[in-house]
């Protein structure tokens, strides 16, 4: 199973811990500005995904993976991401991060 993890620069980031393996990363560009980073990760086992709030007061939340949308394949996860950026004529794009 695959999951999509989101980080927003200056707001919060997700951390890949044991039980998750990053497959691909994408920057979400809106009107040319980087608004988010999406990581597609292989879920090796049920885990808690750490979400760290970067704004004061900083908080850490551990979210059980059972609450995350799951995708059967990497292609399904990619399709879900690409569906995010196809909204009418909005200037939005995904840029793969090497």
pLDDT digits (tens, 9 = 90+) for 82-98: 998 877 677 889 999 98
pLDDT digits (tens, 9 = 90+) for 6-51: 999 999 999 999 999 999 999 999 998 999 999 999 999 999 999 9
Quickly list DSSP for the chain: -EEEEEEBTTTEEEE--TTEEEEEEEEEEETTEEEEEEEEEEE-S--EEEEEE-SSSP-EEEEEGGGS--BSSHHHHHHHHHHHH-STT--EEEEEE-
Q: What is the pLDDT of residue 52?
A: 97
Q: What is the pLDDT of residue 88?
A: 67
pLDDT, averaged across the chain: 94
pLDDT digits (tens, 9 = 90+) for 52-85: 999 988 899 999 999 999 999 999 999 999 998 8
């Amino acid at each position: 199973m695959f999951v999509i993890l989101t980080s927003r620069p200056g707001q919060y980031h997700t951390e890949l811990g044991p039980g998750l393996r990053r497959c691909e990363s994408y920057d979400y560009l809106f009107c040319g500005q980087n608004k988010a980073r999406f990581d597609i990760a292989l879920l090796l086992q049920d885990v808690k995904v750490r979400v760290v709030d970067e704004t004061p007061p900083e908080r850490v939340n551990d979210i059980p993976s059972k609450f995350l949308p799951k995708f059967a394949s990497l292609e399904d996860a990619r399709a879900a991401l690409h569906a995010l950026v196809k909204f009418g004529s909005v200037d939005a794009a995904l840029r793969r991060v090497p």
